[in-house]
Amino acid sequence: MNFDKIIDRSGTNALKLEFRERLFGTNEVIPLWVADMDFKAPQQVVEAIRKRAAHPMYGYTSRDEDFFQAIVDWQNKRHSWNVSREWVEFMPGVVPTLVMAVQAFTSEGDKVVIQPPVYPPFFDVVKDHGRIIEENPLIDTEYGYRMDFEHLEKITTSDDVKIMILCHPHNPVGRVWNREELTRLGSICQKNNVLIVSDEIHADLVYGDQSHIPLASISSELADNSITCMAPSKTFNIAGLNTSYVIVPNEKIRKSLQKKLKAYHLFTGNMFGAEALKAAYKEGETWLEALLKYIKGNIEYVMDFFEQNMPEVRVHKPEATYLMWLDFSAWKMSDAQLRKFMIEKAGLGLNYGPTFGSQGQNFQRLNVASSRKVIEKAMAQLLEARNQIVK
């Protein structure tokens, strides 16, 4: 649990490193983009995978009841959500689940609501399948991002709008939607027969006084009109194991999703992912608490650094996730200039704001799930570069 230790990821085909040339045109940037962490997974997870790997049979596997029980128990202890075993279905990833939901519950030409700025694949899962995006942009206020309920109310009255993909907690703005917001959103969608697909992959990474409330845990009406997507992948840094799950109390909706999973022959899954999930959920809590403390420290360090040295940059303090959404509009650069500046002058590989929607203009997303030394170096490089352009 030494998060200060810098782990050499070379030789692991890590996307975060290997895609630098493709994305930034150079390998000479500190990679602080894609949402995985530069930390080792919990030792219990490593041991579980090692144990399974020691048995030289790697044929098709299923998941035992222990897998599902670990999920039920995790939801209960971390989110006070009483989940029934039969509501849970394995999925090979959250984004594949979003695709299956779009296909199962909409037809070509139907509309899907998303709330930009938002995780870029939310656009793809709609557009790539011949569906139409209906944007309900978040409102950027001095108190943080808010949902635009009046606009949501208006757009969801159209019969073409069939589902809404909610990001909760929200990547990249870091909001943990509260009970009041979720309830209001839920009643608008319910009234207008819009199914809510709630992507809660960042649910375990919440800081401070906030706590994550699963949308479906709020009421039986919301449980009946939603699909919750969760995974241990962000929480325990095991995204490469392609193991996630959905929680769907509504039997009819669950069966439709299960049909898609079967149709794509994606139900066998990854045997190491199943072992990792069990170990993480059963034995990983102490590690997680230490991780949250460390990342919170990184977030506070970055907040202070900007405040002391670059107060013109607007930083939304994330209530959750290890992603920070930075507004550089005070620098008066075009997005292309800002991007070039980050790569060539500051030596940083961050996420380019406009990929999160047009609301991301002048923004960059910074991943702070790295050793503090790496974050300090990144901030120092940014400041040095900035001092050459800003008086």
Cβ burial 51-80 (10 Å sphere, 16+ → b, else e)? ebeeeeeeeeeebeeebbebbbebbeebbe
> Closest separation between CB of residue 345 and ligand PLP, Å?
27
CB nearer ligand PLP, residue 29 or residue 241:
241
Cα distance from N-terminal residue to C-terminal residue, the chain: 41
Token couple for 384: 């040095």
| Stretch near ligand PLP under the rule CB under 6 A, chosen from 12-20, 93-101, 143-151, 376-384 | 93-101
Rg (the chain; Cα; Å) = 21
> Closest separation between CB of residue 318 and ligand PLP, Å?
12
> Closest separation between CB of residue 261 and ligand PLP, Å?
14
Residue 102 CA to residue 120 CA, distance in Å, equals: 16
- Nearest CA-CA partner of 102 in 190, 217, 227: 227
> Closest separation between CB of residue 119 and ligand PLP, Å?
4
CB nearer ligand PLP, residue 35 or residue 310:
35
What is the length of the chain? Answer: 391
| Stretch near ligand PLP under the rule CB under 6 A, chosen from 37-45, 90-98, 137-145, 348-356 | 90-98
Side chain identity at residue 356, one-letter code: F
199 is an interface residue for ligand PLP by CB under 6 A: yes
Helix 43-54 vs helix 271-283: crossing angle, to nearest 10: 140
**Which residues in 107-136 contact ligand PLP (CB under 6 A)?**
119
> Closest separation between CB of residue 99 and ligand PLP, Å?
10
**Which residues in 21-80 contact ligand PLP (CB under 6 A)?**
35
171 is an interface residue for ligand PLP by CB under 6 A: yes
| Stretch near ligand PLP under the rule CB under 6 A, chosen from 182-190, 231-239, 249-257, 373-381 | 231-239
Helix 271-283 vs helix 65-79: crossing angle, to nearest 10: 40
For ligand PLP, the binding residues (CB under 6 A) are 35, 93-95, 119, 167, 171, 199, 201, 231, 233, 239, 244
